[in-house]
Structure 1
Amino acid sequence: MQKYKNGIWDLDDLVKNPTRQTFDKKIKEIQKQSEKFAKNKSQLKPNMSSKKFLQLLHEIEDITEKSSKIGGYAGLKFSEDTQSDEATALLNRISQFGSTIQNKMLFFDLWWKKQVDEKNARRLIKDAGELSDYLRYKRLVAKYALTEPEEKIINTLDVTGISALVKIYDKITNAFTYTVNVNGKKKTMGREQLTTLVRNKNPKVREAAYKSLLTKYQDNKGVIGQIYQNIVLNWKNEGIDMRGFKDPISIQNISNDVDDKTIDVMLEVCKKNAPVFQKYFQQKAKRVGVKKLRRYDLYAPSKKSAAERNYTFDQGTKLVLDSLNRFSPKIAEYASRVFNENHIDYSLRHGKRDGAFCSTPLPYITPFVLINYTGKSRDVFTLAHEIGHAVHSVAASEKSILVSDAPLPLAETASTYSELLLYDNISSQISDGEKASMLSDKIDDFYATIGRQSFFTLFEIEAHKQIANSITVDDISNIYRKNLKEQFGNSIDISEDFGIEWSCIPHFYHSPFYCYSYSFGNLLAVSLFQIYKNEGDDFVSTYTDILSAGGSQKPEKLLKEHGLDISKSKFWQSGFDYIKKQVDDLSKL
């Protein structure tokens, strides 16, 4: 394992010798293969044999894998340094090429969706093995597909349209630097370092950190606000007006292969349980030593909290792997691959993408993890989160690339579960004082990943609705302030400057309505963890089975096979019952 200062990933498993000549050769090979595949267009018939049909699906798999390999490399290289003109140019080139390949293969997708009768569709689906649900899903979304020429136009324009807007937003905001007065000294830093200051013990430092962040976005609201409005309008124009989806959020729901009702029920339960977190924040005010928290103090540490430990990257890695190993040596082995193969980028660098993520360009290649590791305990939990994603991918690595990725709501389950295992491991090794601090952090995380993300989604629902009626950037900020008031009630004082906070949330730009997947995944993970606590080792195989399914089954169907009915509010409420108990337990420490 490399030491902290050298923490840059190795992308050789995707592309060795990444010269222009190498990419020219790979692009030419994929282009030739896709042109050969396109010649099958005249042979497509509803009554074709299952053998020929599966042969075409395997060709699609092969082309998809080769495209994903170079596309994955380009995306990761850009994340490694978003300010690199070379990386930007490569990403643009590969994105443009990917669009061209999609267009060449589009005829098969449209044929399957619209030109195969139900009887033959059932026959071909029955003989498709693990791809059966994938084919069923394709038929489901058929009514939202356009004609082949229209789909080609959309694929082509997306590269210079909505995808370009997202890249511009990233390029602008990742270049932001923030000047903050920390204990009498002015410091300039990036957002990742700035974010650690919102947990500083000094209330003036917390306020200064938030003001520095929000002021920067407020000063640039004209540009980044306009970008957001255009993304939302593009989402409406294509999704609602052209494709005929019912609501903006339905586009994401169908993409996730979950029912509108399931998400509506979950969001309603989250909204109903806002008082659980409000009670916690009122309790936290006493621990922080103030009469009432300000929004600046949301993640403030307790005055009585033990000194925060710092963990080297090696120490953090050991904690994460030990926690997984206590649950299942097999799961821990899946996680170890990321470190052993140097597929993790964890050092702090200017221009590197903010936040953290796990990327799996191909099922059979160990996933890649990016994290901005500063050594705080929260970073160890972030590491556990992203390694959980990697574990999910490795568990499903034997699935076809067409079905290996779990839909977004399920994709957050393993990541959250890994955090719960880490907390369970660490909490047994520390004092009551440290435990109180960590439990408070844990509830903070439940708010951030369940309460906050659900209200983010409720904001998006309203923002998309209002932007369609032509509103200003300030109007969007007013919608956001109202949303904050609803989720916090009277438990927290909210200053006017937080109105612009919505523009700081990359998910709103990258993938509208993505945020509810965190609420879904966290509540689901809490429920699964409770089952594990009750059943012990007998539950390990059930958990592994859920992960190994990848995206091969509809979430409602997959979970129902294991006795979990996610269409009922009772299921989601059980997660909040657990959180409420954690809040009550904290009050006793």
Structure 2
Amino acid sequence: MSEQAKYALTWDLDSILPNPETDEFRSIIEELRSDTDKFAQRTDDLPAINGESENVASWKDILDVQQDLGSRFTEVGAFVSCHAAADAQNKTYLRYEAEISAMFPPLSQGATNVEFAVKEASSDELEALISADETLTRIRFHFEELSLNAALRLPKEQEMLAAELDVDGLHAWGRLYDRLSGELRVSIMEKGEIVEKSPGQVDFESPERTVRENNYYATNKAWEGIAETCADAINHISGTRLTKYRRLGCQDHLDVPLRFNRMSRETLNAMWSTIQDRKPMLLKYLQKKAELLGIEKLSWFDFPAPLPSASSGGGKKLTYDDACDRVIKTFHGFSPELGEFAQTAVDDRWIEVENREGKRQGGFCTDLPISKQSRIFMTFTDSIDSMSTLAHELGHAYHSFVLRDQPRLLQDYPMNLAETASTFAEAVLADEQLAAAESDAEKVTLLEKMLGDAVSFLMNIHCRFIFEDNFHRERAAGEVSAERLSELMASAQQEAYLNAIDEDGTNPLFWVSKLHFYISGWPFYNFPYTFGYLLSLGTYALAQDMGDDFPSKYRDLLIATGCMDTETAVQSTLGYDLTTPDFWNKSLDVVSDRVDQFLGLA
């Protein structure tokens, strides 16, 4: 009989809300629906924005209701998503997911009405309202965000019409891509038979180069079959955006994604230019990897390949109990609060890790703002990689934890800051793993994973940004053909990878296979990843310099992500100006050190 496990493998959902299959939960949903509809109707006729006491009281109440509804929606939605992830075939949970999603538009409409009211007010009127009450003063940043966001909206009636048209226009093209890519099947030879697989099931990490190459070409043949339709989709998604940007008087296609990420063009330019200056260090790693694989230059399908000399570290068996203890101990060594938080999450069963049938794929961390807790979903596979995933998701949960007592309207943070805590937590654990590695082969395996991540964030994401930037410039003059899109992609890859890819080894169809180009609600779904990666690396580098003073600074940074723009958040807590190269070089020094370690061991 096996030894009793120290930590539970399944989470506790019963303490949050009644089970979705009960009448009590049905009542909660109906009450939320009714309150949301009332809020939307109330915001159709909003009070004037000024310092008059009656209007101040009305606005306080409206924003209190908005925050309460936002918290309830998040709590209920997260609760149902947890149930659906843990029991993927349960039709009740699936129906509730769809129902809650369909209930959201009235809340969104109410928030839009509030935003337009702020847009129509003068700066003096808005200041009078904010200054009249301390609770409104506390959420001043929210009002500032509303004003900045409203500047990127058309007049109200036009905006409403555009939103309705987008359902069957902009977003329909995104849904078409989702359907086409979801139905796509790749014909692969396995054990003498042709089998049909989805692209996500194809093995691109085989140690056998011929297998990787054949799988790559087979997959691209399948993508090629839908390339013309995807060209239509990507042209119409970007064309719709460009038309709106032109009406808004935007400088160019980067204004909106920069606003979404609360960051300046100067910061974006400083980040990419510093990366470009420092990127040659990665060529040494890529050249060494090619040498170890026995080839002169890497092709696209070689980047995920495992190294022949470093195959042991990632395969070590590790129990969930041991993984939890290692993560908690590592976190505690950095920050007692972070370590105690991780211990609480494990002890109080915030985490679902059981390896069983019937669960959804992947992993996530979801926030429960009313309960002031989080829940983490993953499948633990007794591996080092699973431990890294656990640390990553606990980092997300800690981010929510430090924001828990902030007003709800100051708990949201943009995409570029969303991965800060999670990637930082992974970095803390990765360095501990490296220090504890028992052999050079294990160290090489760990360093290879770290440098593979660096290539992804500094080269792969960069090629996506270069492609999308150049594509938007050409799209402004007219539709771009599938053939031209492939040319733009191959060129972007060689530019981003500093010609490290074999001349015949680029992936021109990457624009077809990469979902992120077709996410209709979020343009340039790329540079925020690189930003978040470097912010967490730089933050980790500063932790080594600051010692005992750092945990409180780090906590302040996470709180600032919800109530400051990106540049102010970093400047006020870490003391760095993101529009200059200094911070980015600090981050890239970490990558450079890892390259040197890898070259010394490989």
Q: Tell me whether the two structures share a fold, i.e. TM-score over 0.5.
A: yes
Q: Say yes or no: does 1:500 pair with 2:512.
A: no
Q: Which has the larger displacement, 178-187 or 459-468?
A: 178-187
Inter-CA distance 24–14: structure 2 relative to 1 (3 Å threshold) = closer
Which of the numbers 548, 562, 581 marks the counterpart of 2:559? 548
Which of the numbers 221, 224, 234 marks the counterpart of 1:228? 234
Q: Structure 2: which amino acid aligns with 1:460?
A: E
Matched with 2:30 is: 25
Write out per-residue CA displacement over residues 202-233 of structure 1, whole angstroms, 9 at most, x where no aligned residue: 22232244334433322232344433333222
Q: Tell me, in whole angstroms, the C-alpha distance in 2 between the residues paired with 1:5 and 1:215.
A: 45
Matched with 1:257 is: 262
Inter-CA distance 107–35: structure 2 relative to 1 (3 Å threshold) = closer
Matched with 1:299 is: 304
Q: Tell me, in whole angstroms, the C-alpha distance in 2 between the residues paired with 1:298 and 1:323.
A: 30
Write out per-residue CA displacement over residues 328-359 of structure 1, whole angstroms, 9 at most, x where no aligned residue: 23223434565544454775879946x55434
Q: Which has the larger displacement, 158-167 or 146-155?
A: 158-167
Q: Tell me, in whole angstroms, the C-alpha distance in 2 between the residues paired with 1:411 and 1:537.
A: 25
- Note the C-alpha offset of 1:189: 5.6
- Note the C-alpha offset of 1:303: 2.1
Inter-CA distance 73–213: structure 2 relative to 1 (3 Å threshold) = farther
| Partner-residue secondary structure (3-state), 1:499 | coil
Q: Which has the larger displacement, 251-260 or 204-213?
A: 204-213
Matched with 2:540 is: 529
Inter-CA distance 311–360: structure 2 relative to 1 (3 Å threshold) = farther
1:345-360 equivalence runs, <5 A: 352=360, 356-360=363-367
1:143-162 equivalence runs, <5 A: 143-162=151-170
Q: Structure 1: which amino acid aligns with 2:399?
A: H
Inter-CA distance 174–537: structure 2 relative to 1 (3 Å threshold) = farther
- Note the C-alpha offset of 1:136: 1.3
Q: Which has the larger displacement, 166-175 or 478-487?
A: 166-175
Which of the numbers 560, 564, 578 marks the counterpart of 2:590? 578
Matched with 2:442 is: 434
Write out per-residue CA displacement over residues 358-412 of structure 1, whole angstroms, 9 at most, x where no aligned residue: 3436475433445466555444434433332222122212222322122222212
Q: Tell me, in whole angstroms, the C-alpha distance in 1 between the residues paired with 2:465 and 2:526.
A: 6
Which of the numbers 317, 329, 345 marks the counterpart of 1:322? 329
Q: Structure 1: which amino acid aligns with 2:434?
A: S
Which of the numbers 471, 481, 501 marks the counterpart of 1:472? 481
Inter-CA distance 104–541: structure 2 relative to 1 (3 Å threshold) = closer
- Note the C-alpha offset of 1:324: 2.0
Q: Say yes or no: does 1:66 pair with 2:80.
A: no
Q: CA RMSD in A?
A: 3.6
Write out per-residue CA displacement over residues 65-101 of structure 1, whole angstroms, 9 at most, x where no aligned residue: 2333445466667877999998776555544432233
Which of the numbers 281, 284, 292 marks the counterpart of 2:286? 281
Which of the numbers 457, 460, 469 marks the counterpart of 2:465? 457
Which of the numbers 401, 406, 417 marks the counterpart of 1:399? 406
| Partner-residue secondary structure (3-state), 2:410 | coil
Q: Say yes or no: does 1:482 pair with 2:491.
A: yes
Inter-CA distance 371–498: structure 2 relative to 1 (3 Å threshold) = farther
Q: Which has the larger displacement, 121-130 or 441-450?
A: 121-130
Q: Tell me, in whole angstroms, the C-alpha distance in 1 between the residues paired with 2:9 and 2:199.
A: 21
Matched with 1:509 is: 518
Tell me if the contact between 1:257 and 1:407 (Cα under 8 Å) persists in the aligned partners.
Answer: yes
Tell me if the contact between 1:179 and 1:186 (Cα under 8 Å) persists in the aligned partners.
Answer: yes
Q: Structure 2: which amino acid aligns with 1:231?
A: I
- Note the C-alpha offset of 1:416: 1.5
| TM-score under structure 1 length normalisation | 0.87
Bigger radius of gyration among the two: 2
Tell me if the contact between 2:366 and 2:374 (Cα under 8 Å) persists in the aligned partners.
Answer: yes
| Partner-residue secondary structure (3-state), 1:293 | coil
- Note the C-alpha offset of 1:572: 1.3
Write out per-residue CA displacement over residues 97-155 of structure 1, whole angstroms, 9 at most, x where no aligned residue: 3223332453322111222x222322433442441111112222332223332333344
Q: Tell me, in whole angstroms, the C-alpha distance in 2 between the residues paired with 1:213 and 1:388.
A: 35
Tell me if the contact between 2:285 and 2:599 (Cα under 8 Å) persists in the aligned partners.
Answer: no
- Note the C-alpha offset of 1:442: 0.7
| Partner-residue secondary structure (3-state), 1:498 | coil
1:159-308 equivalence runs, <5 A: 159-176=167-184, 178=186, 180-181=188-189, 193-194=201-202, 197-238=203-244, 240-307=245-312, 308=314
Inter-CA distance 189–325: structure 2 relative to 1 (3 Å threshold) = farther
Tell me if the contact between 2:51 and 2:129 (Cα under 8 Å) persists in the aligned partners.
Answer: no
Tell me if the contact between 1:323 and 1:422 (Cα under 8 Å) persists in the aligned partners.
Answer: yes
Write out per-residue CA displacement over residues 489-527 of structure 1, whole angstroms, 9 at most, x where no aligned residue: 342315467211233322222232132112111112121
Tell me if the contact between 1:178 and 1:212 (Cα under 8 Å) persists in the aligned partners.
Answer: yes
1:79-158 equivalence runs, <5 A: 93-115=99-121, 117-126=122-131, 127=134, 128-158=136-166
- Note the C-alpha offset of 1:432: 2.0
Q: Structure 2: which amino acid aligns with 1:424?
A: D
Q: Tell me, in whole angstroms, the C-alpha distance in 2 between the residues paired with 1:209 and 1:7.
A: 36
- Note the C-alpha offset of 1:286: 2.1
- Note the C-alpha offset of 1:482: 0.6
| Partner-residue secondary structure (3-state), 1:108 | helix
Tell me if the contact between 1:388 and 1:416 (Cα under 8 Å) persists in the aligned partners.
Answer: yes
Tell me if the contact between 2:561 and 2:569 (Cα under 8 Å) persists in the aligned partners.
Answer: no
Q: Which has the larger displacement, 96-105 or 70-79?
A: 70-79
Q: Structure 1: which amino acid aligns with 2:262?
A: D
Matched with 1:16 is: 19
Write out per-residue CA displacement over residues 467-489 of structure 1, whole angstroms, 9 at most, x where no aligned residue: 34201223212211111111223
Matched with 1:518 is: 529
Q: Which has the larger displacement, 213-222 or 476-485?
A: 213-222
Inter-CA distance 73–191: structure 2 relative to 1 (3 Å threshold) = farther
Write out per-residue CA displacement over residues 396-452 of structure 1, whole angstroms, 9 at most, x where no aligned residue: 122223221222222121122111111111112212221122112111111112332
Give the unaligned 5+ runs of structure 1.
Answer: none
Q: Which has the larger displacement, 321-330 or 452-461?
A: 321-330
Q: Tell me, in whole angstroms, the C-alpha distance in 1 between the residues paired with 2:215 and 2:370.
A: 40
Q: Structure 2: which amino acid aligns with 1:47?
A: G
Q: Tell me, in whole angstroms, the C-alpha distance in 2 between the residues paired with 1:523 and 1:358.
A: 21
Q: Tell me, in whole angstroms, the C-alpha distance in 1 between the residues paired with 2:272 and 2:218.
A: 32
Name the count of aligned residue pairs: 583
| Partner-residue secondary structure (3-state), 2:509 | helix
Q: Structure 2: which amino acid aligns with 1:428?
A: A
| Partner-residue secondary structure (3-state), 2:365 | strand
Q: Tell me, in whole angstroms, the C-alpha distance in 2 between the residues paired with 1:68 and 1:285.
A: 47
